[in-house]
Amino acid sequence: MLLNTFLKLSLLIFGFCQSVYGQARIINGTVTNVQACPSCVYIADKSGKLLCGAALIHTRFVASAASCTKPHIAGAMNVHGGKTYQLEAGEVIPVIKMIYSINFDQTTYDWDISLAQLQNAFTTTLAVPAPINSNPLEPYQVLRFYGWGEISEGGKVSNVLRTMQVSVMTPASCEEYLTPQTARQFCTNSVYVGACDRDQGGGYYDKDGQWCGVDIWSYGCGRGYPNLGTRASEINTFIQRAITNNL
């Protein structure tokens, strides 16, 4: 009990009370390729530097994390897709608009979702939108996460796309480590496998390849703490409305 209290206090001090922009943290994942996840893309600045993970969920829209993209303006970002390695050409599409929920809370990470509207659709067959899973996630459901983020805490980003397998935690289990989640959030267990810096905004997928949500926060990289995500099922109405209103 004392340990749980200490962990909760530690996470409150070093986690949610930190600036929202620094902490979503694939550690100990395995190398994969874009053919395994054709909707896996990432957001970069104009020089090509990786900023945030992302998922192509419509021919003209990419989903990421508001907590990662908000410090950047739309005109300063591109979306890279259709490639396994960051250093290969792939296809690069400018972002023309960023869309956020008015309910986004930078303290609790509630409604942590952003949509990047693309200047044009990808032409490569290696960049294909993922269907959105509109069904609620179930406890212990197995998901797969992808990203090009840091491969060690405070280290270099990965040149190659990596993946890891996680399972959805019950809210009660997650609350052993984190303060209560909102209705739009879920936790995954890491078991010393986890998302790291610049994986934030990357997508979680079910066994059928449906997009289930975005990674938004974790305490360090692969330290055994849960990763926090935003549920696709709970924000799908917002997403569909935003797409319809901006096409």
Local structure of 236: helix, strand or coil: helix
Contact 68, 42 (CB under 8 A): no
- Give pLDDT, residue 235: 96
Percent of the chain surpassing pLDDT 70: 80
Q: Does residue 159 sit in the same domain as residue 192?
A: yes
Element housing 157 (H / E): none
219 and 208 part of one domain? yes
Mean pLDDT computed over 3-29 = 40
Clarify whether residues 42 and 26 are in a common domain.
Answer: no
* 13 and 65 share one domain: no
Output the pTM of the full model: 0.85
pLDDT at 27: 60
Residue 5 pLDDT level (bands cut at 50, 70, 90): very low
Q: How many CB atoms lie within 10 A of CB 58?
A: 20
Contact at 8 Å (CB) between 205 and 37? yes
| 51/13 same-domain check | no
Task: State the CATH number of the domain containing residue 177.
Answer: 2.40.10.10
Does one domain contain both 55 and 148?
no
**Is residue 77 located within the same domain as residue 145?**
no
Same domain, 115 and 195: no
How many CB atoms are closer than 10 A to CB 73? 10
Higher confidence at residue 24 or residue 123?
123
Shared-domain flag, residues 55 and 69: yes
- How does pLDDT run across 88-114, given as a tens digit for each residue? 999 999 999 999 999 999 999 999 999
Co-location of 79 and 156 in the same domain: no
Instruction: Supply the range of the domain harboring residue 101.
Output: 38-130+235-246
Count how many domains the chain has: 2
Average pLDDT over residues 71-80: 96
The larger pLDDT score, comparing residue 195 to residue 189, is at 189
Residue 205 has pLDDT above 80, yes or no: yes
**Under 8 Å CB-to-CB from 78, ≥6 apart: which residues?**
43, 44, 45, 46, 48, 92, 93, 94, 95
Greater pLDDT, 197 or 83 = 83
CB 167 within 8 A of CB 188: yes
Residue 129: CB partners within 8 Å, gap ≥ 6?
A: 39, 56, 57, 58, 59
Q: What is the pLDDT of residue 195?
A: 67
Instruction: Output the pLDDT for position 154.
Output: 62
The per-residue pLDDT for 72 is 95
Average pLDDT over residues 146-159: 75
Same domain, 53 and 165: no
pLDDT bracket for residue 153 (50, 70, 90): low
Read off the pLDDT of each residue in 181-197 and give the average, rounded to a whole number: 79
Whether the predicted pLDDT of 7 surpasses 50 = no
Query: Three-class SS of residue 35?
Result: helix
Could you tell me if 154 and 228 lie in one domain?
A: yes
What average pLDDT does the segment 193-220 reach? Answer: 84
Write out pLDDT tens, residues 32-72: 999 999 999 999 999 999 999 999 999 999 999 999 999 99
